[in-house]
A and B are shown apart, each in its own frame.
Chain A
Amino acid sequence: MKELYLISKGQPKVPLEAEVIKPDSLAGLSTEEIANLIIYRGNRRVRLGEYFEVKGESADNPEELRIIVEGDVSRTKYIGAEMSAGELIVNGSPYMYLGAWMSGGKIVVNGNVGDFAALEMSGGELVINGNAGNYLGAAYRGNWRGMSDGLIVVKGNAGAEIGSWMMGGKIVVEGSTGPFTGVHMSDGIIVVYGGLGPRAGAQMTWGSIVVYGYAPELLPSFSFNEVIPAVEIEEERFEGPFIEYVGDLAEEGEGSIYLLEEKNKHLKPQ
């Protein structure tokens, strides 16, 4: 695997849009060609090289390329957007739309990510070793088709409406989630190890939310089903015991929310 370094020279006030930072776009190019690629600063076209120093060597195929982004990318959007292969490591905290529409390959972020990361993801893997923003693995604004496959792991907390309109795949949040976790979801799994935000699973019709942390409340349109020792979802076993709620009944939904009994006794009917 060849390694290519993109080292941030600093960030402008107006955000950059750099969807070319992905193995699919950079494979087969020389460092000079890469530096001459066009990115957007606001609505202006600028060279990638103006904001990033390009070092290392690119590979012929995206599968054999690891891109390592170093430094301040806090105003750079669309890093890894529509990525389908290879590896991308971001040692920093990228701005919005990281890995949006990604269909393959792996992204690791050693930092926090902005909103709309892994939007409508259809494959591959995203690991965030920090916090995620709102709309992680959600649908694009207006769309009713969200994440369909792939894996997202967040070591920290995640914001509001993660996995909204989710149709498949898996999101694991080791910390807590914000409001409307898995809103409108129709399939897939969301696993939350920390606290579950309010109104989780609103309008969900199918799929599962597994919660190992504390859920202060659920929507009244979810009904208690049973207490079960463990649950198996898509060949993966989650040890409980869990309190299972089913909903969203307002949508005649049959989604499940599994709450670890030990932490959520207040939600167990007496």
Chain B
Amino acid sequence: MTKHMILIKNGFVYDPINKIDGEKMDIAIKEGKIVDPKKVKEKEAKVIDARGKVVMPGGVDIHSHVAGPKVNAGRLFRPEDGRRQVRPFGQGLRAETGFSVPNVFATGYRYAQLGYTTVMEAATPPLKTRHTHEEMSDTPILDQGAYLILDNNWVIMEYLKAGEYEKCAAFVAWMLRSMKCFGIKSVNPGGDENWGWGKNISSVRDRVIYFDISPAEIIQGLIRVNEMLGLPHSFHIHCNNLGLPGSYTTTLETFGLSDGMPISPKVGERSQNLHVAHIQFYSYGGEDWKTFESKGDEVAKYLNNHSNITVCLGQVTFDETTTMTADGPFEYLLQSINKLKWINRDVELETSSGIVPYIYRPRSLVNAVQWAAGLEVALLTKNPWQIMMSTDHPNAGPFTRYPRVVKWLVSKKAREETIAKCHETLPNRSSIASIDREYTLYEVAVVTRASAAEALGISGFKGHLGVGADADVAIYDFNPEKQDPSREPEALEKALSRALYTIKRGHIVVENGEVVGDAPKRVFWADICFDEELEKQVLDELHETFAKYYTVSMSNYPISEEYLVGSTPIKITSK
């Protein structure tokens, strides 16, 4: 299938990082990289005629739960979901199972069918990260990386409380290197630790039991550490009070904590110091469920005045799905509302987690408001570079619905059709019906690939089609000269659902919407050289913590590089 060189001719190219907006041009690929088209001879290359088609860089997903212990627990506990979308093995492909909790093969194939080539696992507890790597190793096609949950970590909380940021940074550097992870993740800071006592956190100024530190201190401490280390990605947070009425105030307070904090990546060119994940899930007003309303407009207003924050959507798609998060107390609340099955876990010194199936229904006012809140943030935030596509897969819907979310973004008509199916009081609880903005294809390309690549600090080689970039390309059967996304949103949804071609590092992996091959995999992780002396001191102290509290010994804790398929360390010298 794979020729050494590929020439994609005459497509309408949308490449926001290089400011190319639908220009008709050729894209050339050689040895897995984008090259100058003059350097590829037509006779020697596989030529793809992209006349009348859209050409974009391969999609980049900044936040998706696709690998690791809770994802697998979700699969095991939802066999009824497993049978919803099955495809037997054959034609060189592995068997696919699952709709909201697809197996690793389905994950790789279906992302590739959408034209995505890079997907970051949104949260992995350090102790269980070996499992996360095992699943990423088995996920075909995609380049990946994982964020390490560090906020409710006893060691981190002790350092931050004592104000020992240098030591904390040395510890984080060691953790990221040991766990082969890409960045720092926080999930309900402090709340997960309190959940061990059957309690939660209700504001960023609350105190964590025993550790006597507030979420605000954890958040600011970890932003500071993140910037001291100069990680390619910023601090990545799942805020407190997720899913609750009135939670937008907590969100705005959390936003405020990043004010005036440095932005100093040693790698990449991000312009944010805080990435707030699945913003939809805490853009709510109201006193209780009866007065539940969208505050997506307030959140967008803040984002419009603060360019140091990026968000991904966590857009509700109205599906039967599976919620899974390290936010243990939230899942407890959810199962007490919908009375379905529930998994609850505690991960020693590190975090908690929970899983509950959930059905989003347009006729439910709360669900309709959630749907509207996500779109409000996306449509009212002026700068699309602050916005990234996600459904917080599988929490608000499976990633296979991204094309449907795009449909709502590009077409007011499509939104109106959905509003008509929603609870009739939705217009009183949200401004969604009055929003006229429609995304252009250029903006779609921003939120589905370019902004995520930039926020991750990998825009040097991902998320664009400039010379030297990875040859990750998606070609869609949509003719922007003849078709108007606003008036034909269904056609765009269909085109984005089944890419005509997906090319990953020069390998054709999807043709006519069908997976036809695999491509070499990479797993990115931050290999930080911070302060060797200090790190040694920190590790000496850590031995006692392990001996006292962990069920594993410290020597068995780190994951060796040989364990990864496609290990790709990103070298960072922080000091």
Contact = CB atoms under 8 A, between A and B. Distances in A.
B83 interface: yes
A142 B78 contact: yes
A143 B320 CA distance: 12
Interface string B75-103: 00111110100001110000000000000
A185 to B, nearest CB: 15
A57 to B, nearest CB: 31
A144 B340 CA distance: 8
B79 A142 contact: yes
Contact of A141 (B79, B88, B89, B90): B79
Nearest to B77: A142
Interface string B469-485: 00000000000000000
Nearest to A101: B83
A139 B340 CA distance: 14
B571 to A, nearest CB: 44
A270 interface: no
B84 to A, nearest CB: 10
Nearest to B357: A144
A143 B89 contact: no
B89 A43 contact: yes
A238 interface: no
B199 interface: no
B79 A140 contact: yes
B89 A142 contact: no
Interface string B320-363: 00000000000000000000110000000000000000000000
B80 A143 contact: yes
Interface string A13-52: 0000000000000000000000000001001010000000
A191 B89 CA distance: 43
Interface in A130-177: 139-144
Contact of A43 (B77, B79, B88, B341): B88
Contacts of A142: 77-81, 341
A208 to B, nearest CB: 22
Contacts of B83: 140
Nearest to A140: B80
B187 to A, nearest CB: 26
Nearest to B340: A144
A43 B97 CA distance: 14
- Residue among B77, B79, B340 with the most chain A CB within 10 A? B79
Contacts of A141: 79-80
Interface in B517-559: none
User: Interface range on chain A: under 10, 10 to 19, 20 to 34, or 35 or more?
Assistant: under 10
Interface residues of B, number: 11
B116 to A, nearest CB: 28
Nearest to B83: A140
Contacts of A143: 79-80
Contacts, number: 21
Contacts of B341: 142, 144
A141 B79 CA distance: 6
B418 to A, nearest CB: 25
Interface in B5-54: none
Contacts of B78: 142
Interface string A87-113: 000000000000000000000000000
B491 to A, nearest CB: 31
A138 to B, nearest CB: 12
A141 B75 CA distance: 12
A84 to B, nearest CB: 18
A40 B87 CA distance: 13
Nearest to B81: A142
Contacts of A139: 80
Contacts of B340: 144
A45 B90 CA distance: 10
B97 to A, nearest CB: 13
A140 B84 CA distance: 11
A144 B81 CA distance: 11
A159 B481 CA distance: 64
A140 B86 CA distance: 15
A141 B77 CA distance: 9
A40 B88 contact: yes
A14 to B, nearest CB: 15
A231 to B, nearest CB: 29
Nearest to A139: B80
- Residue among B78, B80, B89, B340 with the most chain A CB within 10 A? B80
A142 B341 CA distance: 9
- Residue among A140, A142, A144 with the most chain B CB within 10 A? A142
B59 to A, nearest CB: 31
A140 B82 CA distance: 11
Contacts of A43: 88-89
B275 to A, nearest CB: 34
Contacts of B79: 140-143
Interface in B63-85: 77-81, 83
A141 B89 CA distance: 22
Interface in A208-263: none
B156 to A, nearest CB: 36
Interface in A113-143: 139-143
A19 to B, nearest CB: 12
Interface in B481-517: none
- Residue among B77, B81, B83, B340 with the most chain A CB within 10 A? B83
A242 to B, nearest CB: 31
A141 B80 CA distance: 6
A45 B91 CA distance: 13
Nearest to B339: A144
A27 B78 CA distance: 34
Contacts of B88: 40, 43, 45
Contacts of B81: 142
Nearest to B82: A142
A40 B77 CA distance: 26
B73 to A, nearest CB: 12
A144 B357 CA distance: 11
Nearest to A17: B88
A44 to B, nearest CB: 10
A102 to B, nearest CB: 16
A139 B80 CA distance: 9
Contacts of B89: 43
A138 B520 CA distance: 45
A205 B81 CA distance: 24
A43 B89 CA distance: 8
B78 to A, nearest CB: 6
A40 B79 CA distance: 20
A173 to B, nearest CB: 25
Contacts of B77: 142
21 contacts: A40-B88, A43-B88, A43-B89, A45-B88, A45-B90, A139-B80, A140-B79, A140-B80, A140-B83, A141-B79, A141-B80, A142-B77, A142-B78, A142-B79, A142-B80, A142-B81, A142-B341, A143-B79, A143-B80, A144-B340, A144-B341
Given A40-B88, A45-B88, A142-B79, 18 more contacts: A43-B88, A43-B89, A45-B90, A139-B80, A140-B79, A140-B80, A140-B83, A141-B79, A141-B80, A142-B77, A142-B78, A142-B80, A142-B81, A142-B341, A143-B79, A143-B80, A144-B340, A144-B341
- The 7 nearest A-B residue pairs measured at CB: A143-B80, A142-B79, A142-B80, A141-B79, A140-B80, A142-B78, A144-B340
